[in-house]
Each structure stands twice: as C-alpha cells, then as structure tokens.
C-alpha cells in the first residue's frame, strides 16, 4: 500500500476527543478533520470489532489519493487493515455531503460494517467462495478462457460486495433500527447506477431482497444473520 501510518485498534478510543494519536510505526499521526469525522462516526463498529477480538488495524494513507474509496479494507499477514484514503481526496467529504446530515453517523456505521464483513470473510478463510452446494459453472463452456477468468473474478467480487452490503444493513437493523428504511434507501441510491450489469458492485438484487427488515435471519451474529438473504440472492443470480 506504499507509505502509510498504522495504529492499533485500541488507540481509536482516544479519537472521540482528540485529533491525533501515536502510531505503531512510531510516527505521530495528526489526523485531518475529515479523517477524524469518519472515525468518530465509525466508533460503534470499531468498538464492536474490538469486543469480538478481531485482528484489525487502522491504516492512514498520508499521500494524496484523489478519487479513491475513502474507506476500504485490506487483509495482510492474517490481519485486517481498515484503510483511510482521505488526504487530497475530495470524495471523502463529497461522500458525506451526499448524505442527509442527521443520517451521516448511521450511514458511516453501515459503511464500516460493510468493510468489517470483508474482514470477517477473510478471517474465516471463505472470501470468494460459494456456500456448499452452490455452483453454476455451466456457462464457462460457452466463453473463452480469458472471458471465463474475467467473469469469474468479477462475479466473485460481486458476491462479496453483496454479502458486505447485507452485513451493513444487518448492523443498521440491530444498532440503528429507527433509521433502517433511510439507510436502506441510501444504499439503493448508491447501487442504482451500474456501469456494467452484474458488475463487481452490482448488488441491487440483494439490496432489494433486504427492503423488508423482516427478511433477515434470526442468528445472533450479524455475519450469520445475512446468510439466508445472501444465499437467496446467489440462487437468483445464477
């Protein structure tokens, strides 16, 4: 990821009232206003990750990253890396500006839970895999090897994005239930315009299945609660 500042999840609690922390790399990390705003809004999800003992680090990219996703997840050497790419990146503020002010915290929590879902799938060593009994590979016989690889990679990412979108909504249902319909409507808008039908971020099928909050499973864990909806969407997408 190039030059970066990294600090352990435990220091995040200082962010509620501070603008800087000391990183694990011995750098003094002076957070920008926008970084502070995002992390402050994400605190409930980060506390949850800590309570679950997830191996999660916060990574701050100090170099300019114009147009990058403000918040992302990487998985390196068995640890999850929540990556902030907000410096020199107008999209970090623009993302917040597109959200109703009273809904910002709930949406940022959903975004962070989405990223945590990627972390969870990696930790379970299931990222990119289908649930047992689900495989619809007959289409490979009708395309070239190169096309099959591209489609396989694209649809693998799509499935993981769908799972993560559902986890973000499950988090909202559990922790911000009074804002569920509004956060769901925001997600519908975010996923509405797709450059490629069934592309990597085309999760519209799964988001629509989650319109009714009663559609979620009864499991205690948000990571398991979404499984019935995720599988239903997978079956419908084949």
- Are 13 and 84 in a shared domain? yes
Q: Other CB atoms closer than 10 Å to residue 29's CB: what's the count?
A: 19
- This prediction has a pTM of 0.89
- Are 93 and 113 in a shared domain? no
Task: Compute the distance between CA of residue 189 and CA of residue 238 in angstroms, rounded to an integer.
Answer: 24
Q: Residue 5's pLDDT is what?
A: 56
- Are 59 and 160 in a shared domain? no
Q: Residue 20's pLDDT is what?
A: 34
Q: Residue 167's pLDDT is what?
A: 98
Task: Compute the distance between CA of residue 77 and CA of residue 60 in angstroms, rounded to an integer.
Answer: 18
Q: Residue 29's pLDDT is what?
A: 66
- The count of structural domains within the chain is 2
Give the phi and the psi of residue 45 in degrees, each rounded to 5. Answer: -70, -40
Q: Among the three residues 75, 98, 121, which one is the final residue of a domain in this structure? A: 98
- Are 170 and 202 in a shared domain? yes
- Are 89 and 116 in a shared domain? no
What's the domain range around 192?
Answer: 103-237
Q: Among the three residues 98, 133, 168, which one is the final residue of a domain in this structure? A: 98
Q: Residue 145's pLDDT is what?
A: 74
Q: Where are the alpha helices (DSSP H) in the chain?
A: 33-51, 91-97, 104-123, 145-175, 180-192, 204-209, 222-225, 227-237
Q: How far, in whole angstroms, is CA 139 from its chain's centroid?
A: 29
| Average pLDDT for runs of 10 along the chain of length 238 | 51 39 44 94 95 93 93 95 95 97 98 98 96 75 75 92 98 98 98 93 98 94 97 92
- Are 64 and 108 in a shared domain? no
Q: Residue 18's pLDDT is what?
A: 36
- Are 65 and 153 in a shared domain? no
Q: Residue 22's pLDDT is what?
A: 31
Q: Residue 3's pLDDT is what?
A: 54
Q: Are 58 and 39 in contact (CB under 8 A)?
A: yes
């Amino acid at each position: 990821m190039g030059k970066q500042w990294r600090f352990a999840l435990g220091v995040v609690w200082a962010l509620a009232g501070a603008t800087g922390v000391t990183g694990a790399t011995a750098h003094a990390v002076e957070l920008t206003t926008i970084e502070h705003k995002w992390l402050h809004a994400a605190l409930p999800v980060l506390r949850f990750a800590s309570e679950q003992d997830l191996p999660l680090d916060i990574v701050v990219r100090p170099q300019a990253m114009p147009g990058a996703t403000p918040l992302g997840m990487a998985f390196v050497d068995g640890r999850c890396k929540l990556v902030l790419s907000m410096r020199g990146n107008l999209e970090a503020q623009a993302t917040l500006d597109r959200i109703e002010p009273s809904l910002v915290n709930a949406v940022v929590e959903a975004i962070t839970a989405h990223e945590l879902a990627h972390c969870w799938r990696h930790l379970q060593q299931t990222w990119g895999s289908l649930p047992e009994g689900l495989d619809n590979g007959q289409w490979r016989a009708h395309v070239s090897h190169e096309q099959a690889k591209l489609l396989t990679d694209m649809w693998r990412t799509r499935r993981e994005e769908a799972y993560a979108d559902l986890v973000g909504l499950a988090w909202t249902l559990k922790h911000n239930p009074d804002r569920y319909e509004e956060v769901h409507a925001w997600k519908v808008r975010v996923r509405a315009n797709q450059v490629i039908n069934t592309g990597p971020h085309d999760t519209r099928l799964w988001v629509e299945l989650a319109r009714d909050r009663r559609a979620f499973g009864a499991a205690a864990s948000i990571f398991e609660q979404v499984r019935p909806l995720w599988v239903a969407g997978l079956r419908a997408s084949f």
